[in-house]
Amino acid sequence: MTENRLKAARAFGLAAAALGCAFVFIVTSSVVLGGGAQAFDEAFVRSLRSDADPALPAGPGWLTPLAHGATELGGTPFLTLSTVLLAGWFALRRRWMFLAILLAAVLGETLLSQVLKEAFDRPRPDIVPHLVHVSSKSFPSGHASSGAAIYLTIAALIAVQLRERASRAIVFAAAGAIAFAIGASRIYLGVHYPTDVIGGWSLGAAWAAIVWIAARRIAQR
């Protein structure tokens, strides 16, 4: 495949990813607004708790600390520290484009997620006790959207410096696994419905793709 065709294929793939994720978010948000997923959401959250005591998570005991650890990976303290360290590294190496992509992904997703939370104004699940403290609205999940947007962006920044296709695939697979674990942990801890997390994942992935498309356009000028 020639260089031009390869670039065109990558551009098409990014555009398809952005549109596909945006479509998933729109469909999910429409279902949430219409109330069509509420029964499923509540049943799913209840299924992750003990029948005898809804305060007790279902499954083996090690799942709860694992969920707490996963949720911290998408929390503000960890993501802020990671962003500052990575941004500092890019600045020291004068990788200004990489720095701009990272900051656009982080700051843009944070603002977008908060605006949408207030717009949808969906209450948190109240059918089981929460296993972590929460204070914001429920849809979309901020942890899920941040995890998808930031970890996929970091994966892309790493992947463009790798030559082997297998190595790039491993990097993206790792980022996807982290984002999945973060979102799943929010449901397990009882602070989000499944549709909150699906909405967060799709929003974050769409934003990451949009930022990368914009960066490619700027670099080509």
Does residue 166 register a pLDDT over 80? yes
**HSE-up of residue 43 (Cα within 13 Å, Cβ side):** 5
Region 43-68: what's the mean pLDDT? 92
Rounded to 10 degrees, the C-alpha dihedral 173/179/182/188 comes to: -80
Q: What does the alpha-carbon distance between residue 50 and residue 57 come to, in Å, rounded to a whole number?
A: 6
The residue whose two tokens read 């998570």 is: 57
Task: Decide if 192 is catalytic.
Answer: yes
Nearest to 193 by CA among 29, 66, 60, 76: 29
Q: What is the pLDDT, as a whole number, of residue 168? A: 87
**pLDDT tens-place string over residues 89-100:** 999 989 888 898
Q: What does the alpha-carbon distance between residue 46 and residue 25 come to, in Å, rounded to a whole number?
A: 24
Residue 49: strand pairing partners = 57
Nearest to 158 by CA among 214, 95, 112, 221: 95
The more confidently predicted of residues 4 and 131 is 131
* pLDDT band for position 1 (cuts 50, 70, 90): low
Q: What is the pLDDT, as a whole number, of residue 23? A: 96
* Cβ-proximal residues to 161 (8 Å cutoff; 6+ apart), any chain: none
**pLDDT tens-place string over residues 127-139:** 999 999 998 899 9
Q: Give 63-123 as a DSSP string.
A: HHHHHHHHHHHTSHHHHHHHHHHHHHHHHHTT-HHHHHHHHHHHHHHHHHHHHHHHHH-PP
Provide the whole-model pTM.
0.90
Task: Decide if 133 is catalytic.
Answer: no
**pLDDT tens-place string over residues 14-33:** 889 999 999 999 999 999 99
Mean pLDDT, all residues of the chain: 90
Choosing from 68, 130, 133, 192, the catalytic residue is 192
Q: What is the pLDDT, as a whole number, of residue 52? A: 87
Other CB atoms within 10 Å distance of the CB of residue 177: 11
